Amino acid sequence: MTATIIDGKAIAARIRADLALEVAALREKTGRVPGLATVLVGENPASQAYVSSKRKACAELGIESFGHEMPASIGQADLEALVRDLNANPAVNGILVQLPLPGGLDEEAVLSTISLEKDVDGFHPINIGRLNMKGRPPLFVPCTPLGCLTLLEDAGVHISGADAVVVGRSNIVGIPMAALLRNHDATVTVCHSRTRDLPAKVRQADIVVAAIGRPEMIRGDWLKPGAVVIDVGINRIADASKKSGSRLVGDVAFEEAREVAGAITPVPGGVGPMTIAMLLQNTVTSFKRAHGL
């Protein structure tokens, strides 16, 4: 069997094009556009790159972005005061505090300060708590897991009743992903670094979500034939054949897995482009709620 490739790049581009049309229609109707505030603390180059690509994506869609760059020396009280100002600003529909925060700052306290209605990253403890409860939908779902779910739905995968294995239990990917799949009636097993006989667990799954951060760890012969594989991992490995000397791979050994799986996301071009698309979608949803639309 050769797996269908789930083309996250194309699906994300379609979602962004639809959102651009929706933003134009909202501007026509309300005279305003959605606004996203980004808060970047310190000078972590990866965080700077993420925030800059999020703001660029906003500009492409006609969403206004408000960038706040603060020194790593900012105090907890000042950072929370900035978030409260953004909560009160009606032009801001979404607030994104780029994680991780520099050491010494209390991440949970900062995330808790974000207004629930503007928590477009879905990391507010109440939104996370609601995601993990039955029948209590959160106002926002974290962007990467929501992107994975959207890819599964777009590929026509039957989630209800499926056996799903999520490898990884981080707060930003694994835990919310498991909750989301469970809320869509999958039977979910969450695996992590202490899991015994991981290949045997993965082999039982109709749906595998890999969010580990270990290059090509999940092998083709770990998969049940026909399984759907969502590879969240982004790992840079050395490759002398590339001009840059390196290339990106996922947490799944793609070439092996595509011979066994029914469908699979590539890296790059799978989950990655969906994360920003979902952030934009959450921001537009927030704007519509704020305007009673």
| Structure letter (DSSP) for residue 3 | P
Catalytic status, residue 98: yes
174 or 266: whose CB is closer to ligand NDP?
Answer: 174
24 or 237: whose CB is closer to ligand NDP?
Answer: 237
Closest-by-Cβ residue to ligand NDP is: 170
Footprint on this chain of ligand NDP (rule: CB under 6 A): 144, 167-170, 172-174, 191-195, 198, 211-214, 232-235, 271-272, 275
Minimum distance of ligand NDP from residue 14's CB (angstroms):
18
Tokens of 49: 């790159």
Task: Choose the catalytic residue: 7, 118, 119, 121.
Answer: 121
Task: Tell me how many degrees the CA angle 211-284-176 measures, rounded to the nearest 5.
Answer: 25
Minimum distance of ligand NDP from residue 272's CB (angstroms):
4
d(CA 35, CA 14): 21
Phi, psi at 164, each rounded to 5°: -115, 140
Alpha helices (H) along 171-271: 174-183, 198-203, 254-257
d(CA 185, CA 208): 15
Residues 6+ apart with CB under 8 A from 215: 233, 235, 237, 249, 250, 251
Decide: 174 and 217 in contact? Cβ < 8 Å: no
Tokens of 246: 């390196």
104 or 199: whose CB is closer to ligand NDP?
Answer: 199
Number of helices (H), then strands (E), in the chain? 10, 11
Catalytic status, residue 121: yes
Catalytic status, residue 54: yes
Pairing of strands 246-249, 235-238: antiparallel
Minimum distance of ligand NDP from residue 21's CB (angstroms):
24
Minimum distance of ligand NDP from residue 56's CB (angstroms):
16
183 or 275: whose CB is closer to ligand NDP?
Answer: 275
| Structure letter (DSSP) for residue 102 | P
Task: Choose the catalytic residue: 7, 98, 224, 231.
Answer: 98
Minimum distance of ligand NDP from residue 136's CB (angstroms):
24
34 or 168: whose CB is closer to ligand NDP?
Answer: 168
Residues involved in catalysis: 54, 98, 121
